[in-house]
Structure 1
């Protein structure tokens, strides 16, 4: 018998190839788990899986409402198109002359590559930051074409740099490196990542747009993602199941702490243009709840990392020291967990700091101290995200460790264990 319910295997000879088990670990150690803890763990996960499926059904968005909202915000005037063009020459930006004479600075000379004026050369103005972005001859840009009124010729303006080629290249390099280094594990991780994208794009985003409660949507979507991602990437085993249970516990803790922090700090969720657009055109979306949902989803990757590590640590420690009591096994595994917690908290905080670097620089220009500005919506939101995710992450470590310790076999003879 193989799969989640079976964990008896012959010892793997040193140097043998991969594929001898489905667990996540450097040694892929298997243990004979007793029927009761196996039944309890798998029973709880099965119940959560059923709740997740029911949640998806109940929270499935009304496609009519979603279709009405999508595309409801006018991006440009009617008839406007966005043709691509090839850069012929870049005029760097320069200061405006004091005498008011016209200059050709800050201009982009391009040749249209599509549309009714294909092959036509035009000149469009560009912002200084675009001129300084390193555009060269042969690069591609996207223009904004506005039809002329009363027979007048169309006018063109700069819209953005065409970036699809470098994005595809860096994406392809990412896939190549992951598969080359991690091999089958990496490939399965990419499959899980694709599933996560489908769940978020096909269920979570439409459900949130349709006005479904954001926190339940986030929890249901996150649970669905974790069921697929963990078993796909790390294999069908009780070790993975213990990590999954710890991950689910961490998700619930993160959602509860995030909800309390957001409501206590009275955060509105409207800090940028995106929040303003949602509040104007999608009034059913509760932005406070959306902020909590963002905290839950943002922490999934790191949460998965620490729970898998903790479950693997317990399995390996039990295999190496079968005589340890459960209390000592828990203590030993937590020593590993504490080291992981310290490094992972840095990961979360630095990730948020990196994405908010522009905001941090802008805030430093104001004539008020950092302490005075901590309570502003922009900074408070980032602090709540960091702290709530970190607290949920930290609590998931002892939760996963306890689940794994209660699942693995106990010492052979408790009376002989010191």
Structure 2
């Protein structure tokens, strides 16, 4: 029994030499991130919220639909915004398929003259309810890891809101801003959610490698395919607000950030797979760990590639339907300005993902395979530290195994008899 449980008593740990290499690589990446951030740091945040959204002298009000006339499209709403309460008429929405129901919560715009104008539905309550359910479920299922992931996600969105957007509006290089954002946000996400250990560092370095491939290939693809050749409405509007923006550079920046989540998912899974293989079979060397880890990686690549494709199809279904109804060859539709940007983003992101899998697996297999019997030679607090949560669990198993003969035996080493 002792031999049977010996593999579970300790987890694979990086050797001191591997730990130093991991530290050096991570510090090198972070150094590059800091230099890039200093070069592209926004000079001010004055552009945020500087543009007027509504017409002058117009204001937005919250209201509840009291009645709706389907024949004319006119409505009566009860304004609930403090200081403007009361029932008022609302002009037709202009969308024939849009039917309002009494009790619907809407946002309306009040102009100088005439009835109120429909702006949008009020969606704060259902979205807040979904957010609460999501947070509760993540924490309930994943415990501290889930909480760490949520905190890391909030910090990453903070980086986008308070660095990426102001830096782009300030005229900084979009590709450089994209790299700094992706590498910086990834560092926060991974280490807050998964802790500072060799497994996390392996995933981080594998993702950075995949991100570098994505950036290099994306730079060529965006230029060669002239993305965006015909800007979308949002791109035209942002170019009108800030004329210094390069729309092709903006497309490349978005491409790098868009691929970050999928790359992270693949690399952290591959790193975990190699670590679990090393825990179950400590006799496996680096090449054996790599080959077995890639069996898992191939399945992950296959599933993730069509996940990316269907995510795009689902999000762009109305656009795809619109393109489909016109008499246009399939090749022309796919390469049209409306779809080509998403096709390039999907292909470049998938290529980076495919290459990140063997790179991450190789790094993890090298660290775990070379550790061998030196798993106890680890410096506390280093990126090569064992996962504390798993270490505690393994220690509990070992303690239970050590005490089992004394608790269950009769003092002679034989199992206790049932009373």
Q: Where on the TM-score scale, by shorter chain, does this alignment land: which range?
A: 0.7 to 0.9
Q: In structure 1, what is the equivalent of residue 35 of structure 2? A: 54
Q: Is structure 2 residue 185 aligned with structure 1 residue 225?
A: yes
Q: Output the CA distance in 2 between the equivalents of 1:290 and 1:386.
A: 16
Structure-2 change in CA distance of 1:12 and 1:323 (3 Å): closer
Q: In structure 2, what is the equivalent of residue 408 of structure 1? A: 368
Structure-2 change in CA distance of 1:238 and 1:410 (3 Å): same
Deviations 1:107-128 (A, max 9, x none): 2211222365421332321233
Q: Is structure 2 residue 191 aligned with structure 1 residue 237?
A: no
Q: In structure 1, what is the equivalent of residue 378 of structure 2? A: none
Correspondence for 1:140 among 67, 82, 105: 105
Correspondence for 1:78 among 51, 56, 65: 56
Structure 1 residues 392-401 or 120-129, which shifts more? 120-129
Q: Output the CA distance in 1 between the equivalents of 2:96 and 2:272.
A: 49
Q: In structure 1, what is the equivalent of residue 91 of structure 2? A: 124
Correspondence for 2:67 among 69, 72, 89: 89
Q: In structure 1, what is the equivalent of residue 26 of structure 2? A: 45
Give the drift of 1:355: 1.1
Q: Please say if residues 107 and 119 of structure 2, whose CA atoms lie closer than 8 Å, have aligned partners that are also in contact.
A: yes
Relative to its length, the structure with more helix (as a share) is 2
Q: Output the CA distance in 1 between the equivalents of 2:348 and 2:109.
A: 42
Q: Please say if residues 108 and 126 of structure 1, whose CA atoms lie closer than 8 Å, have aligned partners that are also in contact.
A: no
TM-score of the superposition, structure 2-length normalised?
Answer: 0.83
Matches within 5 A, 1:13-412: 30-63=11-44, 66-67=45-46, 69-92=47-70, 104-114=71-81, 117-128=84-95, 131-132=98-99, 135-148=100-113, 155-268=115-228, 270-410=230-370
Deviations 1:195-253 (A, max 9, x none): 11100001011111111111111111111111111111111211111111101111111
Q: Output the CA distance in 2 between the equivalents of 1:129 and 1:30.
A: 63
Structure-2 change in CA distance of 1:274 and 1:401 (3 Å): same
Q: Output the CA distance in 2 between the equivalents of 1:411 and 1:303.
A: 26
How many aligned positions are there? 368
Q: Output the CA distance in 2 between the equivalents of 1:285 and 1:270.
A: 15
Q: Please say if residues 86 and 141 of structure 1, whose CA atoms lie closer than 8 Å, have aligned partners that are also in contact.
A: yes
5+ residue gaps, structure 1: 1-9, 14-28, 93-103, 149-153, 414-418
Q: Please say if residues 270 and 276 of structure 1, whose CA atoms lie closer than 8 Å, have aligned partners that are also in contact.
A: no
5+ residue gaps, structure 2: 1-5, 374-419
Q: Please say if residues 147 and 155 of structure 1, whose CA atoms lie closer than 8 Å, have aligned partners that are also in contact.
A: no
Q: Which has the higher contact order (CA 8 A, sep 6+)?
A: 2
Q: Please say if residues 314 and 404 of structure 1, whose CA atoms lie closer than 8 Å, have aligned partners that are also in contact.
A: yes
Give the drift of 1:275: 0.5
Secondary structure of the 1:225 match is helix
Structure 1 residues 154-163 or 297-306, which shifts more? 154-163
Q: Output the CA distance in 2 between the equivalents of 1:190 and 1:117.
A: 39
Q: Please say if residues 83 and 115 of structure 1, whose CA atoms lie closer than 8 Å, have aligned partners that are also in contact.
A: no
